[in-house]
Amino acid sequence: MSDARRFAVVVTGLPRSGTSLVMQMLDAGGLSTLCDGARPPDPDNPRGYFEYAPVKRIATDARFAARAAGRAVKIVAPLLRHFPASPTARVLFVQRPLDEVVASQERMLARAGAGGAGDLTPDRLAAIYAVQVAEARERIADRPGWRVLAIDHGAVVRSPAPIAAAIDAFVGGGLDRAAMARAVDPSLHRQRSGSGGEWTPRLRSPIVRP
């Protein structure tokens, strides 16, 4: 693997969109990940969340960003605006149909005994998520040193090998693409859209090369 990466690899998307899956792929491929294991695997994410606790405090303390250069870090879309412009970043933006995201979120909350997402209706929650995706897209566009690769969650599950190859090329090469593909377990895709995915807001330019 190249030691020349001077940028952070930021994995972002909505909660329950597949960001943990992409982090798993990067980890399997040999890219160092910035995570602490504080949130253990559970039935909703049996292979782990790959979270880093300081990310939750990013709005008031983003010092951890200095440690992200050359590594992958997961930052959910609503928090992306707080990530500093430096280090430069290669952003893997995971996209999933909003009905799947909402259903997965509701199932996770129900399993935890937390009830619905603040008593919001699925349609209202989907509308909020759509705004968050749009805001994250605008933030990326405002950062001239950032590049973005849109990752379709369904495509990862259906055919992980070409997605692994695209991710590897995007982050500079040197990852184990076969291991990345093997990290994908299709049986964990438990919430499936009945709408064909058209409900998901899409990035205007799916792939922006450096």
pLDDT tens digits for 115-159? 555 567 888 888 999 999 999 999 899 898 899 999 999 999 999
Is residue 165 included in any domain, yes or no? yes
Is residue 95 included in any domain, yes or no? yes
Is residue 7 included in any domain, yes or no? no
Mean pLDDT along residues 92-120? 78
Q: How confident is the model at residue 4 (pLDDT cuts 50, 70, 90)?
A: low
What whole-number percentage of the chain has pLDDT above 90?
61
Is residue 108 included in any domain, yes or no? yes
Q: Give 188's DSSP letter.
A: G
So what's the pLDDT on residue 45?
77
Q: Name the average pLDDT for the chain.
A: 84
Q: Which residue has the higher pLDDT, 161 or 200?
A: 161
Is residue 82 included in any domain, yes or no? yes
- Name residue 8's amino acid: A
Token pair in block for residue 146: 């950032």
Q: How confident is the model at residue 201 (pLDDT cuts 50, 70, 90)?
A: very low
| Prior bond of 87 cis (ω within 30°) | yes
Length of the chain: 210
The model carries a pTM of 0.84
Domain span at 24: 19-188
Of the listed ranges 27-31, 82-86, 117-121, 204-208, the least confidently predicted one is 204-208
Mean pLDDT along residues 164-188? 94
The radius of gyration of the chain's CA atoms, rounded to the nearest angstrom, is: 16
34-84 pLDDT, tens digit each: 999 888 888 777 788 999 999 999 999 999 999 999 999 999 999 999 999
Domain count, the chain: 1
| DSSP output for 38-81 | -S--BTTBTT-----GGGGGTTT--GGGGG-BTSEEE--GGGGG
Mean pLDDT along residues 150-175? 96
Alpha-carbon span 151 to 200, nearest angstrom:
12
Mean pLDDT along residues 162-185? 96
Alpha-carbon span 146 to 148, nearest angstrom:
7
Is residue 1 included in any domain, yes or no? no
206: CB partners within 8 A, 6+ apart: 149, 150
So what's the pLDDT on residue 118?
56
**Which of the listed ranges 8-17, 41-50, 200-209 does the model predict with the highest average pLDDT?**
8-17
Is residue 3 included in any domain, yes or no? no
Is residue 209 included in any domain, yes or no? no
Q: How confident is the model at residue 193 (pLDDT cuts 50, 70, 90)?
A: low
Q: Residue 191: pLDDT above 70?
A: no
